[in-house]
Amino acid sequence: MGARSAHGPDSAAHEVERAVAHAAQVRELTAAGDLPDPAWRAAFAAVPRHVFVPYFYVARGAGYERLWGEDPDPGHRARWLRGVYTDTPLATRVRGTELLSSSTQPSLMARMLHALDVRDGDDVLEIGAGTGYNAALLCHRLGDEHVTTVDLDEEITESARSHLARLGHHPAVVTGDGARGCPARAPYDRILATCELPRIPYAWLGQCVPGARILAPMATGLLALTVRDAAFAEGRFLHTPAYFVPLRGGERAPAAAAGVGVGVGAAGAGDGQGVAGGPPAHLPYEVLENDRFHFLLALAGEALHPREALDLWRGEGRPGRERFGVTVNAEGEWAWLDDPRGPYVWPLGRPAD
């Protein structure tokens, strides 16, 4: 085999550049307070993002431009590297003008992993394999044997498996409907979803140990549920906003209520990004721009007319996400404000088959 070019995309010099950019991002996340746990700091330091994002797409006119880490043009490679180690979601798979898969914004990924509150020996199910980056962080923290990641798209799971193997990680990477979980690998101590859910799939509860934690995006928020047993779970939203595309599979989200779409905001999703929507045009301007009100609209859905939602939101002191929660049991699923037995409760649906 001939000598490797000193100026090619795989040269030692470029490996140094990638290592420097990786280290700089870990320092930035740490300085911003996104990595307070030394165990997660060590995971982010050990797992380079560029291995999982060998290329990504940026909007260019009506389509997308692909930036590639092995592009012969040094300017294009430099743009790729800057993008990989910028704290932003990256589109990694497109079909025509539709985004199918992405790499989540690292700071949000760090906050979600911290909120998952794992302990040594925990078994984790990830819904939405994405690039495999999040699974690699979990593998570093917990060990490969404790990590299962599921995605509906075989191309995505094959790509994630390949990326993980490059760093020597071999968790269970499963092609299947994430709404059904992965009963063959159950029970789980933690379930982490990286896609927007219209509701929590009831099947997940039966695959969890008592006391398990489920962290999942819903209605532009992050819902943290505690599982009491196979028939009951309850919890509140974190204050953090998060925008992910809907889960593809058995629990597909219905059309966004009242015109509120799922969009690319603070984060991308493990299995894709969406196109931003907007609230009803007839509402006052100051409300149109208020993310917390958008959250209430998306969470309550058809149970509240937009005008009713506005009156409630104003009357209750413009509540943030952390005042809302969800209860799941064998009879159905409900969202609520402040108290699951209080006056403000909205049905989300009955358990799926």
Q: pLDDT tens, 211-230?
A: 999 999 999 999 999 999 99
Residue type at position 222: L
Domain containing 25 — which CATH number?
3.40.50.150
The confidence score (pLDDT) of residue 324 equals 98
Is 79 within a domain? Answer: yes
* Per-residue tokens: 39: 């165990």
Q: Whole-number mean pLDDT of the chain? A: 85
Alpha-carbon distances of 9 from 4, 17, 23, 85, 86, rounded to whole Å: 10, 11, 19, 17, 20
* DSSP code string of 94-111: EETTEEEEEE--HHHHHH
3-22 b/e with 16+ CB inside 10 Å = b? eeeeeebeeeebeeebeebb
For residue 284, name the pLDDT band (cuts at 50, 70, 90): low
Is 17 within a domain? Answer: yes
* DSSP code string of 317-335: T---GGGEEEEEETTEEEE
CA distance 146 to 121: 7
The confidence score (pLDDT) of residue 275 equals 27
For residue 292, name the pLDDT band (cuts at 50, 70, 90): confident
CA distance 69 to 51: 10
Q: Which of 235, 263, 266 is nearest to 334 (CA)?
A: 235
**What pTM value is reported for the model?**
0.87
Cβ-contact 191, 180 below 8 angstroms: no
What is the per-residue pLDDT across 240-262, written as a single tens digit (0 to 9) for each?
888 887 776 654 443 332 222 22
As beta bridge partners, residue 91 has: 57, 102
Q: Is 101 a catalytic residue?
A: yes
Over residues 85-93, the mean pLDDT reads 92
Instruction: Report residue 330 CA to chain centroid gap.
Output: 26
The confidence score (pLDDT) of residue 286 equals 54
The confidence score (pLDDT) of residue 11 equals 73
For residue 95, name the pLDDT band (cuts at 50, 70, 90): confident
Q: What is the CA radius of gyration of the chain?
A: 21
The confidence score (pLDDT) of residue 302 equals 83
CA distance 227 to 337: 20
Over residues 318-332, the mean pLDDT reads 95
Nearest-10 Cα torsion for 105, 239, 229, 187: 10
Domain count, the chain: 1
The confidence score (pLDDT) of residue 307 equals 87
The confidence score (pLDDT) of residue 290 equals 79
CA angle 89–91–97, rounded 5-degree value = 135
Is 1 within a domain? Answer: no
Is 265 within a domain? Answer: yes
The confidence score (pLDDT) of residue 166 equals 97
CA distance 67 to 71: 8
Edge-to-edge strand list for the sheet holding 221-229? 172-175, 147-151, 124-127, 188-193, 208-218, 221-229, 232-237, 324-329, 332-337, 345-349
- Check whether 8 has a pLDDT greater than 90: no
Quickly count: other Cβ atoms within 10 Å of residue 31's Cβ. 9
Q: Which of 38, 40, 37, 26 is nearest to 87 (CA)?
A: 26
Instruction: Report residue 345 CA to chain centroid gap.
Output: 26
- Check whether 265 has a pLDDT greater than 60: no
The count of residues in the chain is 353
Nearest-10 Cα torsion for 128, 131, 132, 134: -70
Is 196 within a domain? Answer: yes
What is the maximal distance between C-alpha atoms in the chain?
74
Alpha-carbon distances of 248 from 42, 55, 56, 179, 202, rounded to whole Å: 32, 23, 21, 8, 16
What is the per-residue pLDDT across 159-201, written as a single tens digit (0 to 9) for each?
999 999 999 999 999 999 999 999 999 999 999 999 889 899 9
The confidence score (pLDDT) of residue 282 equals 54
* DSSP code string of 153-198: -HHHHHHHHHHHHHTT---EEEES-GGG--GGG--EEEEEE-SB-S
For residue 1, name the pLDDT band (cuts at 50, 70, 90): very low
Q: Which of 133, 172, 173, 181 is nearest to 153 (CA)?
A: 173
Range with the poorest average pLDDT among 59-73, 247-261, 307-321: 247-261
The confidence score (pLDDT) of residue 283 equals 54
Is 296 within a domain? Answer: yes
Among the options 5, 11, 101, 162, which is catalytic?
A: 101
The confidence score (pLDDT) of residue 320 equals 93
Is 2 within a domain? Answer: no
Is 3 within a domain? Answer: no
Containing structural domain, residue 34: 8-353
What is the per-residue pLDDT across 33-65, written as a single tens digit (0 to 9) for each?
999 999 999 999 999 999 999 999 998 887 889
